[in-house]
């Protein structure tokens, strides 16, 4: 990346490394190396359900961590199995609690019979959710909360809200949201929609939460950005069909 920046004149601020699973840690290493060599942090990296096994016992400097870039944007979907279970970035999204996804059968690594099921369904959900969040940002509004249990119990209604696909957001902390079992995943069961949809629709009218708006992070403004975000939304739409 540094060579590309130095020889081709591409500013580091226009680069956005994105990685899934092991790739989530690789983008972390990229961010760390860029900082070591240049003294400049990448503005943002995105880790989609970064791998958990073995990495969960490694020291922070040997894996993805919150100092790997200015903003370390993480989406958790399979924590405790193939994905990293705990907070690891500056902005962590725990989709449906972050450990299992609707429509996926739970894999037990200690039970070989479950491993023969569609492997890593929860783990592989992360890239699709990210693509949808980029294409339909108003449908992926997450709420800051201390835990999934508190989120489920509606104890965080006054917490910050941010669009999971907002790649300009400077929010920090743990954010939670619900999705459904079928594509498009933002279409959840009607009963849940009545409960959660009001907040989604309210934020849709605002474009994103008031904190993001105050920082100039509205999705319409993003599309005018000609840096690393240019073309990403179109690519996301091609992924989700």
Among 20, 73, 76, 123, the one annotated catalytic: 123
21 is catalytic: yes
Give just the sign of the alpha carbon dihedral 18, 19, 20, 24: negative
Give just the sign of the alpha carbon dihedral 168, 170, 173, 178: negative
Beta carbons of 138 and 61 less than 8 angstroms apart: no
| H-helix segments, the chain | 2-8, 22-38, 112-115, 121-135, 148-152, 190-206, 210-214, 219-222, 232-240
Number of C-beta neighbours around residue 9 at 10 A? 7
* 96 Ramachandran zone, left/alpha/beta (phi>0; psi -120 to 50): left
Among 20, 49, 68, 166, the one annotated catalytic: 49
Alpha-carbon distance 101 to 99, whole Å? 7
Among 21, 99, 169, 212, the one annotated catalytic: 21
Residues designated as active site = 21, 49, 123
């Amino acid at each position: 990346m540094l060579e590309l920046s130095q020889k081709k004149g591409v500013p580091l601020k226009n680069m956005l490394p994105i990685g899934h699973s092991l790739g989530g840690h690789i983008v972390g290493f990229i961010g760390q190396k860029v900082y070591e060599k240049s003294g400049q942090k990448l503005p943002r990296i995105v880790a989609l359900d970064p791998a958990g096994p073995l990495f969960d016992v490694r020291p922070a400097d040997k894996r993805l961590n919150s100092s790997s870039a200015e903003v370390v944007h993480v989406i958790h979907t399979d924590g405790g199995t193939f994905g990293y279970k705990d907070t690891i970035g500056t902005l962590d999204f725990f989709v449906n609690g972050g450990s299992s996804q609707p429509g996926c059968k739970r894999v037990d690594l200690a039970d070989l019979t479950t491993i023969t099921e569609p492997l890593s369904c929860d783990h592989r959900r992360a890239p699709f959710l990210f693509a949808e969040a980029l294409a339909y940002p108003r449908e992926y509004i997450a709420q800051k909360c201390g835990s999934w249990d508190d989120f489920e119990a509606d104890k965080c209604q006054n917490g910050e809200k941010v669009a999971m696909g907002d790649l300009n957001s400077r929010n920090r902390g743990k954010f939670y949201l619900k999705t459904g079992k079928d594509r498009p995943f933002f279409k959840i069961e009607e009963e849940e929609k009545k409960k959660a949809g009001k907040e989604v629709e309210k934020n849709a009218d605002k474009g994103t939460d008031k904190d993001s708006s105050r920082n100039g992070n509205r999705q319409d403004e993003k599309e005018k950005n000609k840096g690393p975000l240019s073309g990403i939304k179109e690519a996301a739409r091609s992924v989700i069909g």
